[in-house]
Amino acid sequence: MELGAFSISLAVSDINTSKAFYEKLGFIEFGGDISQNWLIMKNTETVIGLFQGMFEGNILTFNPGWDQNAKDLDSFTDVRDLQEQLKNQGIALISEVEESSQGPGSFMLADPDGNMILVDQHR
């Protein structure tokens, strides 16, 4: 099962403070809009998202169709196919993508310890 690019989405209390902290760890701004309280940062192949006031807790995020540089992959497993594979294995989903839709879509699940996982396809 290929889930796509991986990042961790961090719920932060002060995006400017968090940005400054992660810059000290060698992360650079990669995307997002700090004026809208979200920012994507990168250190080599490691990607983190900083999100202020958008959700509670941290989320493991996978992006089908993208590599670690947010570049489109020629071939990838569609989010709806991933969802079907997981459901066929008996994994309960918290939210689902509409099965008859096409293009962008997402679904969420939690691991056995309650860690949230987002599978978010942008194309």
CATH code at 99?
Answer: 3.10.180.10
User: What's the rounded Cα separation, in Å, for the pair 28 and 22?
Assistant: 8
Q: What is the pLDDT of residues 54-106, one digit of tens each?
A: 999 999 999 999 999 999 999 999 999 999 999 999 999 999 999 999 999 99
Residue 59's domain comprises 5-121
Which residues does 85 contact at the CB level (< 8 Å), separation at least 6?
1
How many structural domains are present in the chain? Answer: 1
Q: Structure pTM?
A: 0.89
Per-residue pLDDT at 64? 97
- What are the beta bridge partners of residue 53? none
